[in-house]
Amino acid sequence: MSAVGQDALSGTEAWPPPVLLVRPDANERDAEQLDAWGIETTIDPWLEVSTAADPAPAHRLVGMLAACATGTVLVVTSPRTWGHLGQLVGDKALERAVSAALGNGALVWCTGRGTAASLPEGLAAAIHTAPTGEALAQALNSQVLPGFGHLIAGVPLVLLPGSEIARPQLPAALAAGGWRVVTAPVYTTRARSERPDSAAPLASGQFSAVVVRSPSAVQALRQGLGEQFWPEGTPMVAAGPTTAAAARELGIDPVECAGPEPARVAATVATTLGVPEKCAAGTAQMLPPSHPSRTGVLAASPFLSACRGVRPAVTPVWFMRQAGRSLPEYRAARRGSTMLDSCLDPELASELTLQPVRRYGVDAAIFYSDIMVPLRLAGLDVDIEPGVGPVIANPIRHPEQIEALPTLEDDALAPIRAAVGRAVAELGPVPLIGFAGAPYTVASYLVEGRPDRTHPRTRTLMREHPHAFAALLRWVAGISLDFLRAQVMAGASAVQLFDSWAGELDPADYLVHVQPASALVLRGIGRLGVPRIHFGTRSARLLVAMRDAGADVMGVASDLSLDEANRLLGGRTVLQGNVDPDLLTATPARLDEHLRTVLASGAAAPAHIVNLAHGVPKDTDPRTLAHIVDLVHTSASTSAKGH
């Protein structure tokens, strides 16, 4: 069993609440390092980033870059910089200017590998990196500048695009070293206009600590919390002396971290909370050489390209619950077999996985399984009653029952590996999606005992026994991660985490109690390098928080248009969805009109995977799904917008 699951059984009272991460982006870097210590996190940005209003400084800087010669260095200090600079001057103009500058002997330096990775791939060989701004200034002053020597006649030039509120230390250090420094504000960071959903939980002490990485983050916290400001007993961990000084100016005594590196920040948080190191949670894994993602058989997959944010020539399409009762061959194959038994029969599960690929020509298969399967494999008495749904024989009614939950043994996953292996062997160039239920949804069945949309017992456990509830979600996260990892290691090339019931929660409860457990699964499986899709019904209010749990692709339900989803997610997340299942019985003309609307809306996102806004209804005519696949594939080129 995974370290996540084992940790859940170590007691329901000692585990600290999650740590709140509030920066506008890139929180996953801190979260991944905190994972290595076994520390849960909630990601809820208190800041937002926007492109600078005045494009003139950016145009001036890029003009100087295009006309420069040896003795000029372009310095990029944030992964945000390149995209905003491109928005101000045009991506093509920026690339032409950099190409001309490099040809004339200019250099490009970046702080950190993440910043370097944000630049176009074609520049990778020309980029020099330093871990911090201080190290970059030292390198330019002591190594680069003397190396120019007689090659330059005038004053050496540093071009430094960045934030409107950039710290002055780097340009000051470069100027002191003998450089002429030209800065250009290309983006700004400010507090969110609306009060963050995590504000009330923070004010009431529901987070064990908060990590802040900039003075603007400190100010955003001050603005969001109001007069009360800082909750007593909640440490503020400040990355670097400038941020710590900003906290002290507002009367807070922060825990100062010596440097901004995520590993150092995580270690400081762990020391502050008194958490012993848990190395296993942070260990990266490698897919076996025979895995389809490594052999090249999936190189042309439109689905996987879209998952990674690259628009393929053909828009990919698949359907949730595409292997189901709508298919006559499914009904024939399942005859005489219960739902859970069919999931645990490798030959049958493989056959049911493959049926919709053969019939429809969809761009991905999804492993035929059920969210209750990991519970059955762990030894719990669970069944799926026709017309009812999942039924738990001994539902959790007391916190003490959580400590008695069993371990999911690795041997129990053998039929899952066998079924995946059989399916992958026949799928060839079509990728397989691994499948699991999200911790909250599975836990709600464990507590309620059967389906109940209002989840009264689950909510009571969550609010009256938060430590016990957190332990339950960690246990479910552990077995879900083991279940997904078994599928991926056996051949699945992407995963989808389904959270059917999280949409019934208010955003604050989701952030405090649910997102940390979902993140354990998504970030855990992310160490295998496969794309991660996250989907929940009635999840419009939670869309950003669900993405921030660690998703590469967000499934969009019927309560939100793709246009609005793309706006909420900042235009930087791949979307999946969201054909209305109710229109599968509409007239062909009405359905086609709806499909074209979905395709047009999805064209604004980095990439789009067509799917339903929920699972395929059991009475769906298979010919309707076949028509959708044909229309999407033939309409793809008009929706790609030239990407």
Radius of gyration of the chain (CA): 26
Give catalytic status of residue 334 as yes or no.
Answer: yes
Which residues, in sequence order, are CB contacts of 603 under 8 Å at separation 6+? 639, 640, 641
**Hey, what are 301's tokens?**
């997959």
Q: Kindly give, in sequence order, each residue whose CB lies less than 8 Å from that of residue 513, ignoring residues fewer than 6 positions away.
A: 440, 462, 466, 469, 470, 473, 505
HEC-encoded secondary structure of 388-438 = CEEEECCCCCCCHHHHCCCCCCHHHHHHHHHHHHHHHHHHCCCCEEEEEEC
The one catalytic residue in 330, 445, 510, 547 is 445
Kindly write down the DSSP assignment for every residue of 434-483, as one continuous string: EEEE-HHHHHHHHHHSS--TT-HHHHHHHHH-HHHHHHHHHHHHHHHHHH
Cα–Cα distances in angstroms (integers) from residue 498 to residues 128, 460, 501, 571, in the given order: 42, 23, 9, 23
Active site residue 195: no
Catalytic: which of 7, 197, 370, 552?
Answer: 370
> Which DSSP symbol is given to 119?
S
Catalytic residue check, 445:
yes
488-511 burial, b for 16+ CB within 10 Å, e for fewer? bbbbbbbbbbbbbbbbbbebbbbb
DSSP conformation class of 547? H
Under a CB-based contact definition with an 8 Å cutoff, are residues 391 and 359 in contact?
no
Yes or no: say if 42 and 206 are a contact pair by the CB < 8 Å rule.
Answer: no
Question: Which residues, at least 6 apart from 2, have a Cβ–Cβ distance to it below 8 Å?
Answer: 478, 481, 482, 485, 524
Q: How far is CA 242 from CA 153, 217, 221, 352, 558, in A?
A: 37, 12, 16, 58, 45
Active-site residue among 222, 321, 422, 474? 321
Residue with tokens 């019939």: 359
H helices present in 36-90, as ranges: 56-66, 81-89
List CB contacts of 99: < 8 A, sequence separation 6 or more: none
Measured at the CA of 521, the angle between CA 598 and CA 19, to 5 degrees, comes to 105
Q: Report the relative pairing of strands 47-51 and 180-191 from DSSP bridges.
A: antiparallel
In whole angstroms, what is the distance from residue 152 CA to residue 67 CA?
15
Q: Which of 29, 311, 334, 547 is an active site residue?
A: 334
Query: Which is catalytic among the residues 325, 527, 538, 596?
Result: 325
Decide: 612 and 579 in contact? Cβ < 8 Å: yes
Active site residue 325: yes
376 in active site: no
Q: Are 42 and 510 in contact (CB under 8 A)?
A: no
Torsion of Cα atoms, 485 then 490 then 493 then 498, to 10°: -40
- Residues with catalytic roles: 321, 325, 334, 370, 445
